[in-house]
Structure 1
Amino acid sequence: MKKLFICLAGFAFFSASTLADEFDYDAFVKAYFNAQVMTQQPNATEEDLEHYLSFLTDDVGNQHFPNAPDDSREPDGKDMMRKGMGRYLGVHTEYKAELIDYQYGFNAVSIKHKFSAKGKRADGSEFSYSKIALDVLELENGKVSVIRRYSE
């Protein structure tokens, strides 16, 4: 019995290591970042939003200070993000983003990027901002399960 357990544990470790080695973090980061950027463009569409959301688990947790300080995963996390992000589609008149750096380890990615935007609020007032942010993503089965954004 002990030998069977050791054999199964070794197989599980080998399988997990093989899967981790096969995951293309570089391609994932670039595709995720580009999808995120597309949701912020002046001509962003619901299709752009759905493409971005395809990178997320259904129960994704999202922490974004100061507005969303809780990173708890919710059963309807993706639906909550769809609703929240949908309100802002197309509000930017200008949006630029640049990937500065990224790092990854087993099931985690950090993405440092800068972005700037100009736009109009629903009340007609204008806004403008520029930030550097660090997004820390936890991955589960190749999808983002938790997002934590830290910015200046």
Structure 2
Amino acid sequence: VVELHKTYGEPMAQLKTPMELRQHTNGYHKILFMGNSKNVTAIEELNQNIRAQLEIIAQDNSACVTQAIPTMLEYLPEGCSKAHGVKELCKHLGIDPTTQLLALGDAENDAEMLEMASIGVAMGNGCPMAKDSADYVMGITNSEGAAGAAIKKFVPFTNL
């Protein structure tokens, strides 16, 4: 949890019991379900058993379940996604996302954003859903500079 805070800027976690979670039907930003990255069995259980249960709960509560990294599931309120946030930003800036947006991603939670962008680019290390949603898949990974290479490839700079 601390690693997510330091690496991705996520808010510090508040641990809640299932009973406490039931009381927060409309007042949550997101709920994270995390497995131990050193325990392959725990990750498989998170992705199979727990996800199946969360999907059922999400349907009943107009929510969604997505995944940013293999060891974590995100339970989000309806309308809460990267795609929604990017649409709102584009609207504010007067940008048409279907003709003027380059989106980069590597995870399941990027898929909708990659689909809506005029050019959606998945990183070479991206998950299958991100790659399937993208218009273009980079031949290199995040750690090999895929994002920078994608920007150089698709954004026409005159002073480079």
TM-score by length of 1: 0.24
Larger radius of gyration between Structure 1 and Structure 2: 1
Give the number of the structure whose residues are more often strand, by fraction. Answer: 1
**Higher percent of residues as helix:** 2
Higher relative contact order (CA 8 A, sep 6+): 1
